[in-house]
Amino acid sequence: MSDFFTNSVFFGVLLCLSAYQAGLFLRQKTKIAAFNPLLISIIIVIFVLAIFNIKFQDFYNSSKYISYLLTPATVALAIPLYSKLSLLKSNFKAIMSGLIAGVLTSLISIFVMALLFGLSHEHYASMLPKSITTAIGIGVSQEIGGIPTITTAVIIVTGVFGNVTADIIYKIFNIKNPIAKGIGLGSSAHAIGTSKALEMGETEGAMSSLSIAMAGIITVVFASFFANLI
């Protein structure tokens, strides 16, 4: 059985899509925030690979085609932003201030934790791009001396955590403004957070979509400086 999976060209694609669909089904049926479709799909994929003793490289070779869609999918998030362009113009200063504050908070928190836990430069640099989308984060990690594999894992964990806890955090801190919700999710939890923002509303989704691109650009600007601190 493992040989069949190993030699299959599109086994990885089928497994990823099936696992994600199972996650969506579970989330819709239970309505439990912790059952994030991406998190569930990751668990299913790991379980299948372990049970059938499939090497990760074989799985990657048959699933890499999905990653080709990552960049165009990220660009497509500009569509809801375009529909709210007037809202962006009228709140430009507040939005940009929120984005810069969000990115700096992320970078500073990683810097402080790196000092507390004595992380090496490689591990520290790998975690700096944790709050931006994978398409940008991997490139940033490579440029500043990080490990792309660790960066990918950290980005996914950050996104899932933001997606799952968003409602609770907004309730605790009484955040009701749709622009603030969107900026918060997009600048801290990238595309996975944006999927949650789109569930909240059109304005939240548009602002979160903007945050993905802008947070990525701002992180690129500041990451090199922070990377040299350790």
* Tens digits of residue pLDDT in 5-48: 666 778 888 999 999 999 999 988 888 877 888 889 989 999 99
Q: Residue length, the chain? A: 230
Residue 1 confidence (pLDDT): 55
Is 81 in the same domain as 47? no
Q: 135 and 70 in contact (C-beta within 8 Å)?
A: yes
Is 201 in the same domain as 88? yes
Is 41 in the same domain as 123? no
Is 92 in the same domain as 152? yes
Domain, as residue range, for 25: 2-68
The arithmetic mean of pLDDT across residues 119-144, rounded, is 92
The arithmetic mean of pLDDT across residues 159-179, rounded, is 92
Residue 78 confidence (pLDDT): 73
Q: Of the residues 51, 68, 85, which one is the last residue of a structural domain?
A: 68
Is 142 in the same domain as 182? yes
The arithmetic mean of pLDDT across residues 85-110, rounded, is 90
Is 31 in the same domain as 126? no
Q: Does residue 81 have a pLDDT over 80?
A: no
Q: Of the residues 47, 68, 89, which one is the last residue of a structural domain?
A: 68
Is 214 in the same domain as 115? yes
Is 222 in the same domain as 108? yes
Q: How confident is residue 132, by pLDDT bands cut at 50, 70 and 90?
A: very high
Query: Tokens in use for 217?
Result: 């650009």
Q: Per residue in 183-209, is it b (16+ CB within 10 Å) or e — as a string?
A: bbbbbbbbbbbbbbbbebeebbbbbbb
Mean pLDDT, rounded, of the chain = 88
Say how many domains are in the chain.
2
Q: Give per-residue pLDDT as tens, 103-130.
A: 999 999 999 999 999 999 999 999 999 9
Q: Of the residues 17, 34, 68, which one is the last residue of a structural domain?
A: 68
Q: How confident is residue 143, by pLDDT bands cut at 50, 70 and 90?
A: very high
Is 142 in the same domain as 94? yes
Name residue, tokens 């990525």: 216
Residue 6 confidence (pLDDT): 64
Residues 6+ apart with CB under 8 A from 198: 80, 204, 205, 208
Is 135 in the same domain as 157? yes
> pTM here?
0.81
Is 99 in the same domain as 139? yes
The arithmetic mean of pLDDT across residues 127-142, rounded, is 91
Is 128 in the same domain as 180? yes
Dist CA 88 CA 93 (whole Å) = 9
Residue 128's H or E segment, with its range, is none
Dist CA 150 CA 147 (whole Å) = 6
Dist CA 33 CA 60 (whole Å) = 28
Q: Does residue 4 have a pLDDT over 70?
A: no
Residue 11 confidence (pLDDT): 85
Nearest 5°: the CA angle 124, 59, 188 is: 35
